[in-house]
Each structure stands twice: as C-alpha cells, then as structure tokens.
Amino acid sequence: MIYKGKAIRVQALGDGIAEMQFDLEGDSVNKFNRLTLNEFRQAVDALRAEATLKGVLVSSAKGMFIVGADVTEFLELFRAPEEELRGWCLEINRVFSDFEDLPVPTVVAINGMALGGGFEMCLACDFRVMAESARVGLPEVKLGINPGFGGTVRLPRLIGSDNAIEWIAAGKENSAAEALKVGAVDAVVADDRLREAALDLVKRAAAGELDFLSRRQPKLEPLKLGNIEQMMAFESAKAYVAAQAGPHYLAPLAAVKTIQKAANCAREAALEIEVGGFVKLAATTVAQSLVGLFLNEQELKRKARKYDKDAREVSLAAVLGAGIMGGGIAYQSALKGTPILMKDIREDSIRQGLAEADKQLAKRVEKGRMTVQQMAEVLNGIRPTLSYGDFRQVDLVVEAVVEKLEVKQAVLAEVEAQVPEDSVLTSNTSTISISLLAESLKHPQRFCGMHFFNPVPLMPLVEVIRGRQTGEQTIATTVAYARKMGKTPIVVNDCPGFLVNRVLFPYFSGFTRLLAAGIDFRRIDRVMEAFGWPMGPAYLLDVVGIDTAVHARNVLAEGYPERMKEEGPTAIDMLLGAGRLGQKSGSGFYAYEHDGGSKPKKLEDPQVAELLRPLVRETRELDDEEIVNRLMLPLCLETVRCLEEGIVESAAEADMGLIYGIGFPPFRGGALRYIDALGVSRFVELADRHAELGPLYQPTEKLRDMARQGRTFFA
C-alpha cells in the first residue's frame, strides 16, 4: 500500500502501475470535503515519492466517481474574508496541478457521476475513460459560483472555448455520448468493462504506445485562438449567455469573462484568474441564496426519506374528477410507473382528462424524450371509468373534484365505502380545511391533503396536509407516492390556505391596495418581474383564475379576518363581476388570444383601466422600491407566522414551498432567507414604517425578539 487514508487509498498494481481510489469512509458517495482534499495532497506527495512509478489509474470504489465539493462544509468558508478564501483555493489548485504534473501518465475511470470538483479531477488526468451510463458536468453556476478547481482553465483547452462555455454556463450534466462527441473524454465503454479498459489504457501509455505528454501540453498553455478569433467567440458568447441567464444570475456571464480573461495565459496564471472570479462570486448574496437553496433541497429529501419505513406500497392509484387537473395527476402517476384509475361522472370530463394526458405525452415525443410506443404504454396506465367497479384494488385515492365543501365531503364519503379499509384517501383541495373535510369520513386517520399545483406536470411541489386525526402511516404513504410521482412533498399542518396560498394572498392583498392607491397594474407587474418573479401579480392572478382567487381570498378572510378581510370590493371582485376570469375566459387584467403557441398571448386591454377607476381612493407617487416593499412585506410576515405557528416545521421547508409552489425568485432564496439577507432588524424597521397599512404589515413579537437578539432564520 502506497498510501491509505479515510477517503483515498493508493496501492501498487504491479509493473509500476498504481491505483488511486476514492472511497470516502462512512458515506454513500465520494465528495471533495476537507478530509478528502487533505488526503489528496498526501496521496499526490506519496505518488511523487515513488521512484518506480510508471502510471496512475484513478478510480472510485463507490457507485459514483465524485459528486463534487461538500457544500455544507464550505459555506462557512465562503463567508470568510476574500484573501482567506483566495489562499485556500490557490492551495487546492496547487494539489491538482501537482497531480497533473506527475512524470507518468494518468488515466481516470469515470463511473456514475463526476460533477463539479469531481469532473475537474478528471480534467487534471491525461486520459479519461467513461462508462456508458455515467454523466459529467460542471454545475457550479446553479450555486451562483464558477468552477474553482481549474474547470474554466482545463475544459476550454480540451474541447474548445465554444463547447466549454456551453457546458459551464448551462451547468448541465452531460451523457457519455455527448462527452465523447466534443472530446471531453477519450473513450466510452460498457459499464462492466470500465476498469479493465482504463487499466489497459494506462499500461499502453506507460509502455510508450501513447504520448501522454502531448495530451497534457494544451492544458498548460494559452488557448489556441488568435485575437480576432477570441473577440468573435467571446463577445457573441457573452451576449447570448447574458440574454439566457437574465440580470439576476451573475455566474454564467462571469464564467465567460473568466475564460476570456485567461485565454492568453499559461495554466498557473489562468488558475489565479479563475480563483479571483470564484472568490468574488462566492461573496454575493445570489451565491449564498443558491447555496442555501441547494442545502434546503437536501434537507427536504432527507426528511421525505424518513417516511419510507412507514409507507405502504401504492401499486394502483385513483383520481376522482377528470378534466385538466385530474388528467395532469393521472398523467404524472402513469408516467412515473404507477397505474391509475381516472373516474368522473361525465363522459366529456373523462375525454378532457385523457386529452390533457395525451397532450403532455405528445410534447415528450416531439422533443425526443419518449417513443410513440412508450407513450402508448403510459396511456395504457390510465384507466378511465364512470363507475367504482375496480376501486377494490386501489391503494390511494386523490379527490380532485370542484372546490366546494359539500361536494367534496359527499364524494369522499362515497369513495370511502368503495375502497379497501387500508386505502389512503387524499384531497387535492387548495383551501378547504382537511379536518373539516374529514368529518364526513368513518376513518379520518386514513385521510390527508395532497395539494398539487397547476399545471401538474411542471410544478414540482405537493403540499401534504396533516389534519387533526390524520395517521402517520397515511402521511408516510402519501409522501412516498408524491416522491414516486417525481414531486417534492412538503408536510404541513392544517389551516386555512395551508402554507402556499396562505402566504400568497397577503401578497395579492398588497397588490390590490396598490391599485387603490392609483398605481397602474402593468407597472406593478414590470417592477415585480424585474425583482425576479416569473410573472407579476396581475398576470399571475389571470393564470390562477379570478374566480379561483376570489374563492381562496374569501376562505382566508374567514380564517384570518383581523388580517385578511377586505374593507370593500377590490380589483378581483370588479373583474369577477365583469365576467373577466383570466386566461380561461380570454380576459382578466389582460386580454388573451391563441396564436398557435403553447400558451395564450397576453395583450393589453384599455377597458380594464376604466373598470378599475372607481376603486382608486387616492393617487400617490411611489417609487419601485416602495412597490416591492408593499408586496413583499405581507408575504414575508405571513411566512414568519406559518413557521411560528408550526404550520410548517422548518425555515427550509417554508422557503422551498414558496420557490416550488409560486415561483418565488430562487436567487433570493425564499421569504425567510430574504429577511436574513436584508437583516432581521432592518426588516422589522421597514415593516414598522408601513404600520399604517394594517395588521398584514405588523411584525410578530417573536420576530421583534429575533431582531433584538441578532438571530437569523438560517445559521
């Protein structure tokens, strides 16, 4: 044994060949944490000291090569002074360079995933052999940063600047075929031949059959592009990447600029430029929010997995109520491998539900993500029915009928008598109390909420709502089924509006108050889209449906009259009275027309201003920052209340619910991280300055305590 640590071991294989194998003790995957990086230094030094060394094979003892850096360990380092972070990065890069400069050929066997620092390890090798099923990439931009272990230096010199910019700025994972096509790897082999092929390659290189030094040399030199070629390549790339990334995501464009700045530099100078760019990005609030988002996602997955041991298998599901929502649920279940019955009392609703599923599958076929035969198999997994004939085999039911208490209670009581006694019943209600719905059931412990968001195929969130009498196995089974459907479940406790709608409607209330102050809804939409929302509040209300919004608003007003009851008619009441229901009716705040695209085209309609004019109680001049504050303050404060009341268990779940459920700007990290970024004290002061606007703008006492004590929602 040449070297043995807790994450890396180096052993002699004979004939001067050594194998450096990554195998992080006590973990299911390899990652570059501090332990691994420290041992990497020691392993490289051990290899350099081997006088008889002729070649090095790099491999993984786990199902994946290296999934990247351990973000949980480095988050604190990202907050360190720039010089400290810069010094650390340069020190790590010296290890990678020392490995790359070994006087013998190095070959890496890439299995499973090699992402971020894991792929940068591969780039430091002379030759790369990849398993057919493996994937590689540099996804750092998704965390608001750029590669920091040489990715922006080595990859452009291996595959060309155009390909490297595409890989790095998009941050996507790439298949073995894609990697081979651009030259990121040298060979792709069957999974079971990976080690054999890589070992054969290192032996051939050690024997002089392959010139490993000539393969290494381009990575040590400047990019082979003339000045005019550089200008054409980088300027066009910067314009394209900036347009794709948008103004809030800095890392993709920064990566292009880093590659451009280092284009005329040899390796060491280029690495210093990369580290400089990395350090600047790591200090931004965008990077801190996106890293926090990544950690929140890991936390959600961990919590969801805890339910697995208590969950019952769902082999056959059912959805009650077809149409667009029921069809979307049926499509998603069948697509992910769980057959589903789709029941309705009307034939035309069944047809509409099947048409929705067919439309979604046709899109996948058009994009090459599915064959026609696979489409037919998924459709066969959806069994339409007008009766309860096959419900004796159903394991879980999703009720998705009209949003009326009496109707839902009647349907749930009816289906309870048709399914086995251990079946789970759920409701897709968006506002009605789960405990109230359960009053019609004989076995309320088998019942919970399962709130999908529209459109079901696109929206990742499912709220799993626990009623007063809901059993833990019911929650566990529903969470497991949601995960199997490819969704992210968040368990919340019962209250009017649950988590997402309860938080969203104070935002809408802030919006309608701005309209009453004479602010043009089109300007508000532009301001909030510039803030980072995918659509402004007027456009969002049109997508939700004005009638749906009025119903939800009324439920919340009844539940929280002191905060959410309106003093008189608002803009959405006026639109509802005029029959302007949003996109579904062709008119709401905006007019809509179908021009053959996938979604209706939004048009301005001068009639709306006249319709809303009687609501204007005052005319005020407000700047863009004030518009943002009047909308974000009530949303954030209601999120705080949900956390304090235990409606949602953690700050991570609250923030992820808003990001996944209503499109809260991811680069801002969620409502609670947004408060942290502003500073809790500053946020409370801001709310107090708006106290005259009413209870929705008043901080809780616990939040005031946090401000006084200097505490935050996230460590």
From the number of C-beta atoms within 10 Å of its C-beta (0-12, 13-18, 19+), residue 380 rates as: exposed
Look up residue 534 and give its DSSP letter.
Answer: S
Look up residue 417 and give its DSSP letter.
Answer: T
User: 507 forms bridges with which residues in the sheet?
Assistant: none
Look up residue 148 and give its DSSP letter.
Answer: -
Apex 219 CA angle, 215 and 221, nearest 5: 115
With beta carbons less than 8 A apart as the criterion, state whether 198 and 129 touch. Answer: yes
Name which of 403, 398, 500, 506 is nearest 459 in CA terms: 500
Look up residue 700 and give its DSSP letter.
Answer: P
Give the position of tokens 């053959």. Answer: 596
Give catalytic status of residue 248 as yes or no. no
CB-based burial, 395-428: b 16+ in 10 Å, e otherwise: bbbbbbbebebeebbebbeebbebbeeebbbbbb
Dihedral of the alpha carbons of 621, 624, 629, 635, in degrees to the nearest 10: 120
Give the position of tokens 């750029």. Answer: 146
Give the position of tokens 């651009």. Answer: 182
With beta carbons less than 8 A apart as the criterion, state whether 157 and 98 touch. Answer: no
Look up residue 221 and give its DSSP letter.
Answer: S
Is there a cis peptide before residue 455, judged by omega within 30 degrees of 0? yes
With beta carbons less than 8 A apart as the criterion, state whether 506 and 637 touch. Answer: yes
Amino acid at 65: F
Look up residue 66 and give its DSSP letter.
Answer: B
* Other residues' Cβ atoms within 10 Å of the Cβ of residue 443: 15
Angle between helices 651-662 and 671-678 (to 10 degrees): 110
Dihedral of the alpha carbons of 317, 472, 427, 395, in degrees to the nearest 10: 20
- Say which residues have a Cβ less than 8 Å from residue 428's Cβ, sequence separation at least 6: 325, 329, 398, 399, 400, 449, 450, 451, 452
* Other residues' Cβ atoms within 10 Å of the Cβ of residue 179: 25
Catalytic residue among 248, 451, 551, 594: 451
- What DSSP line would sit under 593-657, residue for residue? E--SSSSPEEE--THHHHHHGGG--------HHHHHHHHHHHHHHHHHHHHHTTSBS-HHHHHHH
List Cβ<8 Å contacts ≥24 apart for 670-674.
670/292, 670/293, 670/296, 671/503, 671/632, 671/635, 671/636, 671/639, 671/640, 672/636, 672/639, 672/640, 672/643, 672/713, 672/714, 673/289, 673/292, 673/713, 673/714, 674/632, 674/636
Show which residues are catalytic: 451
